[in-house]
A and B are shown apart, each in its own frame.
Chain A
């Protein structure tokens, strides 16, 4: 199974500052078709996860441009510039390159200072 390791486990950020979350994979996530199926989700308190970023760097419909995904191979980063109160929650990376099983990272909890 592909293991996704997220760091940090938790993050406390001042409103308006930048947050950065790392996701490292135990295997390269580049698929044979040339795409890399690494996604980012946010689970706000009491809600279902919501897709933020797909295929490393593409923002899903309605996601603000404050959310920026980057990376390749085994190392990926989600940056949130100008953190706002509605950004709090748990962020998960997810890989759909190697299946089964599809796997999630263990999550990073973003708190607002």
Chain B
């Protein structure tokens, strides 16, 4: 059974860096063809893809945020990470991690609020 769970700070101030962790089970990011991505959803809004990381450590980012995003993984501990620098109130959202190039399994999401 594939499961994913996101964790993060909950609340942070503008200009701070957001660090998110995705802890997963039921698959390995060292398996050929495997991919984990991050997607966010602002309150009442649609879905925005942020980044993907592949089994071979290839990384792809949304160009609209590329300079602020860093995705990484710890294969041994079945975790993926996302950092977003210079957070703004507009980045307040629920952040999801998901498995697959087209996400087939999603975590429950973690709410992140940016507020001074």
What is the interface of chain A, defined by CB distance below 8 A to chain B?
1, 37, 39, 41, 48-51, 54, 60, 92, 94, 96, 99-107
Inter-subunit contact A39/B60 (CB<8 Å): no
Min Cβ gap B63→A in Å is: 6
CA distance A38 to B63 in the complex (A): 21
Segment touching A, from B7-15, B18-26, B46-54, B73-81 = B46-54
Contact of A104 among B46, B60, B63, B104 (CB under 8 A): B46
The residue of chain A having its C-beta at the shortest distance from the C-beta of B101 within the complex is: A96
Interface size (B, Cβ < 8 Å)?
Answer: 20
The residue of chain A having its C-beta at the shortest distance from the C-beta of B66 within the complex is: A100
Inter-subunit contact A106/B46 (CB<8 Å): yes
| A residues in contact with B52, CB < 8 Å | 102
Inter-subunit contact B46/A100 (CB<8 Å): no
